[in-house]
Amino acid sequence: MKLGLISAIILVTAIGAAAQSARVKGSPTPTPNPNLRPSVIFIPTAKTEAKPDPSRARTVPSPTPTPVPRLNDDTQVVKVESTLVPIPISVIDSQGRAVTNLRLEDFELKIDGQPAQISQVFRSESPIRLAMLFDNSSSVAVAREFEKDAAVKFFSRVVRPDRDLAALFSVADRTQLEQPLTRDVSMLVRAIEGFPQPDGATALLDGIIKVADYMKDVEGRRVIVIVSDGEDTISDLDTTLEKVTRRLLQADCQVYVVKTKDFENYKRTGLRQGNANIRVLDAERRMLEISGQTGGAVYSPLDESELNDAFNQISAELSDQYILSYYPDSDADKGGEFRSISVTIKGKQNMTVRTRKGYYVPKRTGLGM
């Protein structure tokens, strides 16, 4: 009896031990280490990947992307935009020659009389966007063919087909776009040669505004060359000189004028002298104001040689210019205000600097205000 009881106890113990040995023992829960900290600097290193387990390859689910949290009002990134103000500069020495060896530190820029930082200085390699406004009214009929020939030569010299674009407008009692911006000089030449006979009155100031509006959104150095006697007879009454200069400055356009009145008189009379009547003097004053405000110049040739020289000088000046890059402080709330520009060359008293007289702060849109 005792032998049987002992045998039963041994058998139960053995079964319990076997059952206990068949269980999978869980891994112990690791004790957190308070000294470990998440790193805030991530340095890329070679990544060692564990070999995949073929038996589990079909059961691993695709990772669920972690949603990117939205920034609250305290952590929003504020984008500050500043509009570039390009400032074309022509520097001439006492002999009338272009100065071409200046560096950024040689220039001193003042905005509204206060020193301002120049971000960069570019040379004339920057692209030119040029529009010629050609007076085709009856007042300029005498020297028309000479002026057309000079304009053709000018386009051939100044337009670099790999980077520049040029357009052609005619103006009489209305302004007509004869050739949109193109790098193909032959198209400009054909447009000039296709001009109709000069006729009608002159709405010159209206025409200048139309060209400025055409150029205002074009990337690159914006240059307008006006070939005209400067007289205006039928522009709208509200097209004032102030309105014209404002529109040109807002469009960042530099204006050069080849004033043909003296040349026309020479072709009529053979005399190398100008005309001093009031209308002519008023026309000259307007052209000087427009070119002076935008950093350009007026040329008044008396004969064919001087006419060609005028176009040559404009071409040479454009090729020798400096372009200063100025980024003003935020003026988002001051749109439309005028800022005066003054540029001098440090330590150089015998140099003449020609540049635009100022700019208008652009009016911002879409700021959610």
Q: For 53-92, how does the pLDDT look when each residue is reduced to its tens digit (9 = 90+)?
A: 444 434 334 444 444 334 344 434 334 456 889 899 999 9
Distance CA 244, CA 207 (A): 10
pTM of structure:
0.76
Max mean pLDDT range (4-18, 175-189, 338-352)? 175-189
CA 153 vs CA 124, 146, 195: distances in Å: 20, 11, 16
Report how many helices (DSSP H) and strands (DSSP E) the chain contains, helices first: 8, 14
Q: Which helix (H) or strand (E) holds 283?
A: helix 278-294
Q: Which is more confident, 26 or 211?
A: 211
Q: How far is CA 332 from CA 60, 76, 324, in A?
A: 54, 19, 22
Q: Are 358 and 249 in contact (CB under 8 A)?
A: yes
Q: Shortest CA distance to 224 belongs to which of 192, 193, 272, 256?
A: 256
- What pLDDT is stored for residue 188 in this prediction? 97
Q: For 242-285, how does the pLDDT look when each residue is reduced to its tens digit (9 = 90+)?
A: 999 999 999 999 999 999 988 888 888 888 766 678 888 899 99
Angle between helices 241-250 and 278-294 (to 10 degrees): 20
Mean pLDDT of 144-170: 92
Contacts of 288 (CB under 8 A, 6+ apart): 298
Q: Which has the closest alpha carbon to 92: 310, 348, 308, 309?
A: 348
CA distance 253 to 130: 9
DSSP-derived pairing of the beta strands 128-135 and 165-171: parallel
pLDDT tens track for 316-329: 899 999 999 999 97
129 - beta bridge partners? Answer: 165, 222
Q: Of 71-75, 212-216, 348-352, which one has max mean pLDDT?
A: 212-216
Judging by DSSP bridges, how do beta strands 120-122 and 322-326 pair with one another?
antiparallel
pLDDT recorded at residue 130: 98
Q: CA-CA distance, 163 to 184, in Å (whole number)?
A: 11
Query: Would you list the DSSP string of 296-319?
Result: --EE---SHHHHHHHHHHHHHHHH
- The answer to whether 224 and 192 have CB atoms below 8 angstroms apart is no
pLDDT at position 58: 41
Angle between the N-to-C axes of helices 261-269 and 278-294, in degrees from 0 to 180, rounded to the nearest 10: 140
The strand pairing partners of 222, in sequence order, are 129, 253
CATH class of 125-319: alpha beta
Higher pLDDT residue, 3 or 290? 290
Calculate mean pLDDT across residues 120-128.
86
Cα angle for residues 131, 137, 143 (degrees, 5° grid):
85
- Give the residue among 223, 98, 208 at the shortest CA–CA distance from 164: 223
The answer to whether residue 179 scores a pLDDT higher than 60 is yes
Question: Is the per-residue pLDDT at 47 higher than 60?
Answer: no
One-letter amino acid at 368 equals G
pLDDT of residue 274: 64
